[in-house]
Amino acid sequence: MAALPLEQSEPAIALLWLAQADTPDNEPTDELSAPPEPLSQELEELEPLTPQPNDFEVRDEAAPLVQQPEIIDGRQPVLPPENLDPSANPLLFPTEPDEVTVDLTQPITLLEAIALARRNNQDFRTAFLSLERAQAGLRAALAAQFPTLDASATISRTDSAQSELANRGRQDNAFSDLLGDQDTITDSFDGRVELNYNIYDGGRRPAQIREAERAIRFNQLEVEQIEAQIRLQTITAYYSLQESDARVDIEEAAVENAQQTLRDAELLEQAGLGTRFDVLRAQVDLANSNQNLTNALSTQRVSRRSLVQVLGLGQQVEVTIADEIRPAGTWELPLEETIILAYRNRAELEQQLVQREIEEQQRETALADIRPQVSVFANYNVLGVFNDSEGLADGYQIGARVRWRFFDGGLAQARRDQEAIDMEIAEVSFEQQRNQIRFEVEEAYSNLLASDENIKTATVAVQLAEESLRLARLRFQAGVGTQTDVIDAQTELTRARGNLLTAIISYNSALASLQRAVSNVPTNQLFDLP
């Protein structure tokens, strides 16, 4: 049977990959057990994929990208439940078992998961705090453009030792009564106001301002990068939980098939048409299926906690999947255009260019130490002594200072050389990051194509495996087939369903990775470009 195109095969995918083990034509005879009930009704009733509005907006002259489904369209406003948020106290330290006991299980969609991650993820919050810190750094650099105004006041009481010695000397003088003693205690007040302004500082001030501006841009790009990475981590964790849930359904179906096979073998043995060996084989197969189900349930629990960790949810919260399992969309750009688009959009490349500009400004700051420094100043002071009759006296001073350090032991030149080397490092990092981006695009693109083909192949394999199991059961019931044939057919069907599940999840994960490799989709463009 020829493989169906992806768009036409999705209804078959929805109905085949997690359908019941037996088709209507495979109903056993009345003497044997009835077929198992259908599995997850929700997964059986999947509808064909309908493309949703484009999840990408390409800048200016870039070719338009393929439409993306609603499931990952981050432009739509999503308000996830607030009861999933963690405590407002980041220093919360649970000390009682009931404080970490899960008491809320909430189904969420992928859009809600992305919104929760952006709202609660600690890495994302840290990136925004770093951005705010950089903005404060710019305000600090701009403050150097203004003059400084200082005011000081001093009130002092002085008991002069010199005056005390002079008084003792006068006591030995014959005219001490005429000269009298000097007062050794003086109460004084000194007030000063001073204005300073650096007219020229060797280029330090403009260099520091430009450095602070580029630092803000660097942190904006860092926020974009972390947001894109968190989005990918969220999608990956969500798909992983989807796969774990479906694995549980598949293993439950395998257990039901094994139970039916065991019942058939026991009935045939009772009727004298089967052997004890067939019953033992069926029991072993059922035990293996139960073990696989136990492992699938364990993986499901781990996947749920992993998603909770990525989303940064509360201590007593657990989430489940609300979205259906289906291919998440298509990618129509050829590989070469995708690579160019990634080069133009990735924040990491611009970060390296911004880092180079920062190093250049730091080099100018280092050289400012051996350039002339020109400043002007003005001060006004008031001085008075409380225990005399002269009153207050005031004065002022205005002037200019010029300072030029002709020799500093080579410190400024060494710092300049350091920054020049850092600029070269940024250039090498740019080249390295560019090559890494190309590899990420090519890897995701290749995985996407392979998964697309695997979906088509696995869809046909599920159909063939179901038909093979149906025939194996009929042959076994008719006495012309063996129990081994039935068990092998069950194993092949379970493997085929697992392969189809893996193909769909791998396809969706590859598509998400490709979107991340291209980056700067609407949900990632948090800041306007300069």
Minimum mean pLDDT range among 21-30, 214-223, 298-307 = 21-30
pLDDT digit string, tens, across residues 446-455: 999 999 999 9
Inter-residue long-range contacts of 397-400, CB under 8 Å, 24+ positions, other chains counted: 400/374, 400/375, 400/376
pLDDT score, position 139: 94
Q: Distance of CA 262 to CAs 251, 474, 486, Å?
A: 16, 15, 11
Report pTM.
Answer: 0.67
Domain boundary assignment for the chain:
6-31+100-333+341-518
CA 96 and chain centroid, separation: 30
pLDDT score, position 82: 59
Angstrom distance (rounded) from CA 332 to CA 196: 64
pLDDT score, position 99: 55
pLDDT digit string, tens, across residues 273-332: 778 888 898 899 899 999 999 999 999 999 998 888 888 876 767 888 888 888 888 898
pLDDT digit string, tens, across residues 231-267: 999 999 999 999 999 889 889 988 998 898 898 888 8
Rg (CA), the chain: 39
Closest residue by Cα to residue 14 from 50, 33, 42, 56: 42
Residue with tokens 């306007």: 528
| Cβ contact 358:211 at 8 Å | yes
Quick one: what percent of the chain has pLDDT higher than 70?
73
CA 182 and chain centroid, separation: 78
Quick one: what percent of the chain has pLDDT higher than 90?
36
pLDDT digit string, tens, across residues 359-385: 999 999 999 888 999 999 999 999 887
Both structure tokens of 461: 């394999």
| Cβ contact 270:31 at 8 Å | no
Strand partners, 317: 104
Minimum mean pLDDT range among 59-73, 142-156, 281-295 = 59-73
CATH no. for 6-31+100-333+341-518: 1.20.1600.10
Closest residue by Cα to residue 324 from 20, 63, 71, 131: 71
Angstrom distance (rounded) from CA 214 to CA 358: 6
Query: What stretch of H or E contains 123?
Result: helix 122-142
Cβ count within 10 A of residue 105? 10
* Three-class SS state of 298: helix
Model confidence at 479, pLDDT cuts 50, 70, 90, reads confident
